[in-house]
Structure 1
Amino acid sequence: MTIKSILAGTALVFALSTQAFAAKTDLTLGVALEPPHLDPTAGAAAAIDEIVYANIFEGLTRIGPNGTVEPALAESWSLSDDELVYTFNLHDGVTFHDGTSLDAGDVVFSLDRARAEDSTNAQKALFAAIDTVEAVDDLTVMVTLKQPSGSFLYNMGWGDAVIVAPETAETNKENPVGTGPFRFDSWAKGSSVSIVRNPDYWGDQVALEKAMFRFISDPAAATASLLAGDVQAFPNFPAPEAVPQFEADPRFAVVIGSTEGETILSTNNGKPPFDKLEVRQAIAHAIDRQAIIDGAMFGQGTPIGSHFAPHHPAYVELVETYPYDPERAKELLAEAGFPDGIKATIKLPPPSYARRGGEIVAAQLREVGIDLEIIPVEWAQWLDQVFKAKDYDLTIVSHTEPNDIGIYARDDYYFQYRNPEFNDVMAKLDATAGEEERYALMRQAQEILANDAVNGFMFQLAKTGIWDADIEGLWENSPVQANDLTEVRWTN
């Protein structure tokens, strides 16, 4: 073999190894649910934000991995002395994925659209404090509030508050056009959504050239897909029973964090017999939270007694408001006029916490005389029947929106819970800026919900992330519903 051929062979090996390393700019992630569409301003499904938040769409602000408010399309802002006027300064040179420029008019359009009378925004209440939105110039927006709102900047960081263009707003469900570091590439219905790097992004370029979100709801299939390398990351792994297997495998990183997911036995408070406090109290006493966590989640989860995350500094421990007490549950049913028990239905969406948890809950309630017919539903059915039409008795769902205790003040919300005292507390909270004063109101709100047994408060959903050990930048915790890929890269 000649020196020339040796050098040529060495060059070929080097080139191939370089290509192999360079090829690690794509990523396939597993997600449990397929979104109904891809417009975060027109749907309540967490599955939408899990794909598009911070990747395709951006807001004036954003929520970072530690839950703090960070600048996004607004590079800075100021607040008037009376705390009523926010002036946002937009980044210069921002373009939407269709090449059109972002300006103050797009912000005015987006916020006015979200709060309009005919708005389809699932979190319209986020914008209730806004009085007017005005474009001062191309890069300056002035938002005037009706009253001071301590949560306004945080609210503007939700996925429901992202900025969209009037030219493409109506087609974002199928062809999302945002300003983010990734562009929408394709959607294979029933299989996956793909996004690609946006070369014209106004900020720092992301490391990944392409990312695919594959829809895998079955826990066994999720496990198999990771082991086979068909997906390299499952940020919210749906098979907690398989975690020890991955912890023992050096190919994978197992990262257990927290979420904003209050997992609850949602109750139709507007439908007999669940409109009776004693019936809801009976359900609360019939639930053995730890048994549900152990049986459905293999020990991963934290018991809760109200709709609030245990990691929040304003959290109140209220689990013992209604301790597990089947005999007391039977007494309460009799006091409510149902000595012979109740027959009802429970609609269970696809996530394993719901399907597995529902079986356990049904068995627990059966012990006290509440006989549940289990009805499995797909996610789209759940949204239509339960969330929109309020056609249900009981259901199980994890509410993963951040700091969302205010949903209980919405008269048209699917719980159909109405309590003027709670609404007053929420109104005061929205008008309060001081941290300690806000925390005191949050504690008061938690206690009202617990005493009213509005829902069966079960546990805070853990965030179980499993991914290739050579991946860095995925979030440990989930302060918002997101798989933010902006800092994700392969290290090897």
Structure 2
Amino acid sequence: MRIWKTLVAASVLALASSAAAMAARTDLVLGVVLEPPHLDPTAGAAAAIDEVVYANVFEGLTRIGPNGEVLPDLAESWTVSDDGKVYTFKLHTGVKFHDGTDFDANDVKFSLDRARADNSVNAQKGLFSAIDTVEVVDPATVKVTLKHPQGSFLYNMGWGDAVIVAPESADTNKEKPIGTGPFKFQNWAKGSSITLVKSDGYWGDPVFLDKAEFRIIPDAAAQVPALLSGDVQAFPFFPPDAVAQVKDNPNLKVVIGSTEGETILAINNKKPPFDNLKVRQAISYALDRKAIIDGATGGLGVPIGSHMSPSNKAYVDLTGEYPHDPAKAKELLKEAGFENGIKATLKLPPPDYARLGGEIVASELRDVGINLEIIPVEWAQWLDQVFTRKDYDLTIVSHTEPSDIDIYSRKDYYFNYDNPAFDKVIEELNLTSDEAKRDELLGKAQMILADDAVVGFLFELPKVGVWDARLEGFWQNAPIQANDLTKVKWSE
């Protein structure tokens, strides 16, 4: 009897220990396709930066939620003046940066003034252009006065580019990011992984994970085995064309949602012969979106005809503006004086949507007389050559920033597009807070871009997430370029 009781007790203890071990799992290895150039979201355009640090390491006055909603963050509340120009933010108190320094209103003033300064290196400096003054009322109160009302101001403050940083660490955030978020930076093994760990002194709701490793796996052929073996437990932005290899695995969950990723064949509008409207229109007529979507996204992309997500209520379906019509494309090239064809280059960054889609695009343009030399480039090369120096003819990229149609009004932007009529619409949009009027202006902006064939509009990038079936808390959609881990946990 004593032996039996001992065995029972031992079994109960073993079961309890086993259950506790399963319930206690708090580590996660998460796969990402691209390695960020650095880790400072206030000093770079690459989406890969926010995919690691947004909401995890860095926080803003507001934040964007999983459905695109504006939520309080470091600002617990705010009031807006009757004229829509003065925002008074009440800040959370007792907040500290990961290096132990205190967060207060002075950090907000520093961050916003730094982002809008003449020498700012912020990739989205336009987000702050409406700000006139930033005043510290007291350590827990900041007053931001705008030059004019701006309907998108609270939303803009939720971008990764608008996170709050401290003057003590701002200059070193690229290599050693220090924020106020629930995770703090631990290590970056270049070319391999970035590791975050739980911040014990976090001011808000504690997170469930103690450790999260972002493992960099650019090779699609390696991503599937990593998931199937369990070496990587989640791939929130999984290549759509590889879904068929994992969708029937009972240990994995495949979740398909939407993004803000307008995927385009970008065109250098000031570089001959692409400064000719008929040439750009010919390119648009040559594109067979269905074939590109099938080949680059496994059929999961949604066709677009202008720079707006189909999930946006202001979206106008302009996919019929340029139906696939190779004969029309050839006719336009002849009218433009290029009946003997055009030679150009197509620079393709690493993502599958670009490399796979680029092969199809090159074939379709070749059929109408535009012969492209495909030049594969790494992400850092793309940012330098294409985005910064505008040294390109054509390229394929997905713009994942939310509601970013205004980029076509920026004179130094890599499209090299200039249309005063479009600029006027964007200027009016920036001054308008009435939602119905904003939607009307966004419709006008979309139509101008389509008429000018500024770029070849391809598809809205789908968000395909694949993760261990025991995990919960990941976002289905991607209203902002982020891997928000604040609610992610292992089910018990």
- TM interval, short-chain normalised: over 0.9
Q: Distance in 2 between matches of 1:184 and 1:7?
A: 45
Number of the residue aligned with 1:365: 365
2:424 match: secondary structure: helix
Number of the residue aligned with 1:244: 244
Q: Distance in 2 between matches of 1:258 and 1:218?
A: 23
Number of the residue aligned with 1:380: 380
2:461 match: secondary structure: strand
Question: Is the counterpart of residue 456 in structure 1 residue 448 in structure 2?
Answer: no
Number of the residue aligned with 1:297: 297
Number of the residue aligned with 1:144: 145
User: For residue 405 of structure 2, what is the amino acid of its counterpart?
Assistant: I
Number of the residue aligned with 2:113: 112
2:383 match: secondary structure: helix
Q: Give how far 1:18 is off.
A: 4.0
User: For residue 196 of structure 1, what is the amino acid of its counterpart?
Assistant: V
Is the Cα contact below 8 Å between 2:23 and 2:491 reproduced in 1? Answer: no
Number of the residue aligned with 2:421: 421
Q: Give how far 1:5 is off.
A: 4.2
TM, length-normalised to structure 1: 0.98
Number of the residue aligned with 1:171: 172
Number of the residue aligned with 2:44: 43
Is the Cα contact below 8 Å between 2:23 and 2:490 reproduced in 1? Answer: no
User: For residue 48 of structure 1, what is the amino acid of its counterpart?
Assistant: I
Q: Give how far 1:242 is off.
A: 3.1
Q: Distance in 2 between matches of 1:423 and 1:16?
A: 65
Number of the residue aligned with 2:278: 278
User: For residue 166 of structure 2, what is the amino acid of its counterpart?
Assistant: A
Q: Distance in 1 between matches of 2:255 and 2:33?
A: 17
Number of the residue aligned with 1:66: 67
Aligned-residue identity in percent: 68
Number of the residue aligned with 1:389: 389
Q: Distance in 2 between matches of 1:445 and 1:475?
A: 30
Is the Cα contact below 8 Å between 2:224 and 2:245 reproduced in 1? Answer: no
**Matched ranges for 1:299-448 at <5 A:** 299-448=299-448
Q: Distance in 2 between matches of 1:185 and 1:425?
A: 45
1:265 match: secondary structure: strand
Structure 1 segments of 4+ aligned residues over 6 angstroms from their partners: none
Q: Give how far 1:4 is off.
A: 6.5
Q: Distance in 1 between matches of 2:491 and 2:19?
A: 14
**Matched ranges for 1:448-487 at <5 A:** 448-487=448-487
Number of the residue aligned with 2:194: 193
Q: Distance in 2 between matches of 1:155 and 1:196?
A: 28
2:374 match: secondary structure: strand
Q: Distance in 2 between matches of 1:19 and 1:384?
A: 50
Number of the residue aligned with 1:489: 489
2:238 match: secondary structure: coil
Q: Give how far 1:335 is off.
A: 1.1
Any unmatched runs of 5+ in structure 2?
Answer: none
- Write out per-residue CA displacement over residues 438-464 of structure 1, whole angstroms, 9 at most, x where no aligned residue: 000000000000000000000000001
Q: Distance in 1 between matches of 2:242 and 2:339?
A: 42
Q: Distance in 2 between matches of 1:465 and 1:11?
A: 38
Q: Distance in 1 between matches of 2:330 and 2:98?
A: 59
Greater shift in the superposed pair: 1-10 or 317-326:
1-10
Q: Distance in 1 between matches of 2:19 and 2:297?
A: 42
Q: Give how far 1:19 is off.
A: 4.7
User: For residue 132 of structure 1, what is the amino acid of its counterpart?
Assistant: T
Q: Give how far 1:283 is off.
A: 0.3
Q: Distance in 2 between matches of 1:257 and 1:429?
A: 28
Q: Distance in 2 between matches of 1:126 and 1:241?
A: 34
- Write out per-residue CA displacement over residues 290-319 of structure 1, whole angstroms, 9 at most, x where no aligned residue: 000011211010110001000111110101
Q: Distance in 1 between matches of 2:250 and 2:172?
A: 44
Q: Distance in 2 between matches of 1:60 and 1:83?
A: 18
- Write out per-residue CA displacement over residues 125-147 of structure 1, whole angstroms, 9 at most, x where no aligned residue: 00000000010000000000001
Q: Distance in 2 between matches of 1:216 and 1:414?
A: 28
Q: Distance in 1 between matches of 2:243 and 2:25?
A: 25
Number of the residue aligned with 1:52: 53
**RMSD of aligned Cα (Å):** 1.1
Number of the residue aligned with 1:159: 160
Number of the residue aligned with 2:7: 6
Q: Give how far 1:270 is off.
A: 1.4
User: For residue 377 of structure 1, what is the amino acid of its counterpart?
Assistant: V
Q: Distance in 2 between matches of 1:189 and 1:131?
A: 40
Q: Distance in 2 between matches of 1:75 and 1:374?
A: 50
Q: Distance in 1 between matches of 2:241 and 2:295?
A: 10
Q: Give how far 1:349 is off.
A: 0.3
Number of aligned pairs? 491
Is the Cα contact below 8 Å between 2:241 and 2:295 reproduced in 1? Answer: no
- Write out per-residue CA displacement over residues 74-105 of structure 1, whole angstroms, 9 at most, x where no aligned residue: 00000111111000000011110011110100
User: For residue 85 of structure 1, what is the amino acid of its counterpart?
Assistant: V
**Matched ranges for 1:253-268 at <5 A:** 253-268=253-268
Q: Distance in 2 between matches of 1:432 and 1:5?
A: 76
- Write out per-residue CA displacement over residues 25-58 of structure 1, whole angstroms, 9 at most, x where no aligned residue: 1111111100000000000000000000000000
Q: Distance in 1 between matches of 2:109 and 2:296?
A: 45
Number of the residue aligned with 1:184: 185
User: For residue 203 of structure 1, what is the amino acid of its counterpart?
Assistant: G
- Write out per-residue CA displacement over residues 345-395 of structure 1, whole angstroms, 9 at most, x where no aligned residue: 000000000000000000000000000000000000000000001000000
1:29 match: secondary structure: strand
Q: Distance in 2 between matches of 1:37 and 1:365?
A: 36
Q: Give how far 1:22 is off.
A: 4.2
Number of the residue aligned with 1:17: 18
1:321 match: secondary structure: coil
Q: Give how far 1:15 is off.
A: 5.4
